[in-house]
Amino acid sequence: MPTRILIFANGTLSDPAPVRRLLRTGDLLLAADGGMGHAQALGLVPQAIIGDLDSLTPGQRRWAEANGIHLQVHPEDKNESDLELAFRAALEQGPEEIIVVAALGGRLDQTLANLALLNDPALAGLDVRLDDGVEQAFFIEAGGRREVRGAAGDLVSLLPWGGPAAGVRTVGLRWPLQDEILLAYRTRGLSNELLGGTATVEIRSGLLLVIHRRMS
């Protein structure tokens, strides 16, 4: 079983080149409908394309079939987004980590929905992030501790999701937090900075959205 899966979503990806820094040997690649275009632009062949496939051009569909890519076709009239269906397909593979590319930016409603998907109970215990090679987003749940890895000067924002996040502690950020409460209607956690290559963030209660923007 793969330990890591990359899902290419059909969102905005202004520059596909930084995505290459995310790739590792052995990654399983999936595409949510038109996300196949991002994989194709990088010269990558996903194992499967999941969704209603309404975003694929006839040429892309021929390319997919010629390369033996499995097409997991769903009805256009459905209750789930293509990315939600791609998450379900990924979970069937038993991964430890899932990275979603091209799920940030573009339509605000889609971006918020993509972030909300990370809170699916079925993903509990997995390392799941939205990442386009420049910016990444992930959640820390109550009692959780996560690392942010990058370079000195990278921006790190800590945003409470759905309510206050209490007992927030950080190590390795320019403005440290020590057992503090971040409120959802305040900007206390916005635009912190990495001091070096790694920082740690932990919370006692609540749900915290971490957004890390690489500056180099």
How much is the pLDDT for 108?
A: 92
User: To the nearest whole number, what is the mean pLDDT of the chain?
Assistant: 94
Q: How confident is the model at residue 195 (pLDDT cuts 50, 70, 90)?
A: very high
Average pLDDT of the segment spanning 11-29: 90
How much is the pLDDT for 2?
A: 66
How much is the pLDDT for 106?
A: 80
Pick the CATH number of 134-216 from 3.30.499.10, 2.60.120.320, 1.10.600.10, 3.40.228.10: 2.60.120.320
Q: How confident is the model at residue 109 (pLDDT cuts 50, 70, 90)?
A: very high
Instruction: Please indicate whether residue 3 or residue 30 has the higher confidence score (pLDDT).
Output: 30
How much is the pLDDT for 75?
A: 87
Give residue-wise pLDDT tens across range 21-51: 999 999 999 999 999 999 999 999 999 999 9
CA separation for the pair 169, 176 (Å, rounded): 7
Tokens of 215: 């500056």
pTM for the complete prediction?
A: 0.93
How much is the pLDDT for 1?
A: 59
Instruction: Please indicate whether residue 159 or residue 16 has the higher confidence score (pLDDT).
Output: 159
Superfamily of domain 1-133: Thiamin pyrophosphokinase, catalytic domain (3.40.50.10240)
How much is the pLDDT for 15?
A: 85
Give residue-wise pLDDT tens across range 142-168: 999 999 999 999 999 999 999 999 999
Give the domain ranges of the chain: 1-133, 134-216
How much is the pLDDT for 119?
A: 94
Give residue-wise pLDDT tens across range 44-89: 999 999 998 888 888 888 999 999 999 999 988 888 999 999 999 9
How much is the pLDDT for 87?
A: 96
How much is the pLDDT for 76?
A: 84
